[in-house]
A and B are shown apart, each in its own frame.
Chain A
Amino acid sequence: MILAVASGKGGTGKTSISVNLARVLDAPIQLLDCDVEEPNAHLFLTAAPSSEEEITIGVPKIDAERCNACNKCVEFCQFNALASVGKAPMLFPELCHGCGGCMLVCPNNAIREERYRIGSVTTRQAGLITLKSGCLDVGVSLASTLVHAVKERRNPSTTAILDAPPGTACPAVATLRGADFAVLVTEPTPFGLNDLKLAVDTVRELKLAFGVVINRAGIGDDRVRHYCEAEGIPLLLELPDDRRIAEAYSRGELIVDALPEYRSHFERLWQAIDNESTKQRGMPYRAGVAR
């Protein structure tokens, strides 16, 4: 079962919710950090990296001897990754999507494939949590490709929580697509509401079962709550604005470890996800039992 945790913007506490949710589950669980441009779930968990896998795509390597500078490959590439410079074309691997098309159109068989690193997936074990973090190399624009690489490394036999990149652009959609349930994290402010609406549009488009978590409840107004009521969107949890939570956060501690009284909040969140999943999809979500 796949649970995606997303938010319309950054800084809503999405990762904190994901990690705490993983922690209170009394069963092996996977946490996939799909925020590949800024992975940070590992900062909340004490675990040494157990393995790092390099993620590559196939980019063209042009044999200058065979190439007659016909530019068929340059014209073909939709991503402007090849440039004609009067002789064998020049490649910008950081723009290449690895589609392989240029190799097919080359009439002189001058292109072969070469591996080009776009980032990595690091695996860590922290208690029952198996964390896999995707990390995109600086300057590479293929965030969605790396998100897919992280998702492909999911073990289908246990529950997985996917920490989505903030926003509603391609990498966030790539994370959400195929999830069984989406948790949208927001703050009760006008900005929070605005970004929540965008996130709701996205999950509705993807036809996902979903619900909302309000983080730092009490800092703003009631508009997010009213919006959810009006739209028939289930409010799964309201986490109060508590200075001690912010303090624990700044020390890199989990809420449920630093403040055990909050354990029940996250257990209720699992329960709410379970209930909503049953209601919206006709089947319960949970794989393990929260206690």
Chain B
Amino acid sequence: MTAALDPSFGRAKNFIVYDLQTQDFTLISNTQNLNAAQGAGIQAAQTIAKAGAAALITGHCGPKAFRVLEAAGVKVYNTDVPTIAEALARYKAGELTEANAANVEGHWV
């Protein structure tokens, strides 16, 4: 929980899925994606959707991943806080604003 929040979504090493009710969390690996030539964000977004998450907190989320998350009904919140615990605290306090568009351009444009 005190671990650093990776600023990029698609190529982050792991995702933490946190259950707000039980306060349990599980770690999902994103390593198969780190070296993907293209579509890393799309893959990562599917991983999040499959995990059943209703919201994603991340540093930067590209346009393609955003479209997938949007279609899957996952809300996206951007933050630049350094740790996961802090990001979560801010989310719970309602201090994060929902992103309504991708906040970084794709890489192949």
Q: Taking beta carbons and an 8 Å cutoff, which residues of A are in contact with B?
A: 74, 79-81, 83-87, 90, 92, 94-95, 138-139, 141
Contacts and interface: CB of A to CB of B under 8 A. Distances in A.
Interface of B: 36, 38-40, 42-43, 45-46, 49-50, 64, 67-68, 71-73, 106, 108-109
A28 to B, nearest CB: 38
A138 B38 contact: no
A74 B50 CA distance: 13
A80 B49 contact: no
7 contacts: A80-B36, A81-B39, A84-B50, A87-B71, A90-B71, A92-B64, A94-B108
B108 A83 contact: no
A234 to B, nearest CB: 37
Contacts, number: 47
B43 A80 contact: yes
A92 B41 CA distance: 12
Contacts of B40: 80
Pick the 5 closest A-B CB pairs, nearest first.
A80-B39, A85-B71, A85-B72, A83-B68, A83-B42
Nearest to B67: A90
Contacts of B73: 86
A114 B108 CA distance: 23
B104 to A, nearest CB: 14
A92 B72 contact: no
A224 to B, nearest CB: 33
A83 to B, nearest CB: 5
